[in-house]
Amino acid sequence: MNIINQYKTLGGIGVGDNYRTKMATGYLSGILKSVAISILITFIILLLASLLLCFTDFPESYTFPSAIASTILGVFFGSYAAARANPDKSLLSSLLTAFIYILICIIIGSILGGRISFTFNTLLFTVIALTTGVIGNILATRNKSRKSYNKGSSRLADRFSKKGINKYKFTRN
């Protein structure tokens, strides 16, 4: 039994349950920070759109598209940040960020509306947010390859060689 306890502590530092608890709270706090980023970006974009609608003759028919754009940008940046912060669980982090964002927005909408309702717009909002979360994950985890391109000229351009001023000669390779 002493051997098992010896493996759970490493130099007096608990490696067992305490380590998992710290990792889980750190992961959850990172997700919540990403959700806060999403909501902040959404709020800023919606605020700018409302000021634009209020003080200019901008058509009110653009209210719904501006709400969709703010959702897309907010969830994108939040899920991108979550995927970059947790590269080993990037897809889960991005989707969890988008899902928590959806829940918070539905709760806020229900409080402001005075009732809980699920309509086609709610479904559309959910699909857009989850899809944007996946796209944010894909762009955050892509590998940037360093392709070395041939800096020389193409084969077709090599067939024409300039011989003197304004004289071109066609050569075969």
Q: Using 50, 70 and 90 to split pLDDT, how confident is the model at 6?
A: very low
CA 107 to chain centre: 22
Highest mean pLDDT among 9-13, 39-43, 165-169 belongs to 39-43
Q: Kind and range of the H or E element at 162?
A: strand 160-162
Span 33-50, average pLDDT: 93
CA dihedral 107, 109, 111, 114 (to 10 degrees): -130
Residue 153 pLDDT > 60: no
| Residues 50-101 pLDDT 10s | 898 888 887 888 888 888 999 999 999 999 999 998 888 899 999 999 999 9
Cβ–Cβ under 8 Å, residues 141 and 89? no
- Of the pLDDT bands very low, low, confident and very high (cuts 50, 70, 90), residue 136 is very high
pLDDT at residue 127 tops 60: yes
pLDDT band at 113; cut points 50, 70, 90: confident
Inter-CA distances, 166 with 28, 161, 163, 171, Å: 70, 11, 8, 16
102: pLDDT strictly greater than 60: yes
User: Which residue carries 């490696």 as its tokens?
Assistant: 15
Q: Where along the chain do its domains lie?
A: 33-141
Say if CB 33 and CB 79 are below 8 A apart. Answer: no
Percent of the chain with pLDDT over 70: 69
Q: What is the mean pLDDT of residues 124-139?
A: 93
Chain-wide mean pLDDT for the chain?
79
pLDDT value of residue 8: 47
Residue 10 predicted with pLDDT over 50: no
Checking 122-126 for CB contacts under 8 A at 24+ apart, the result is 125/71, 126/102
For residue 31 the two structure tokens come to 């997700």
Altogether, the residues listed in the chain come to a count of 173
Mean pLDDT of 96-124: 91
So what's the pLDDT on residue 12? 47
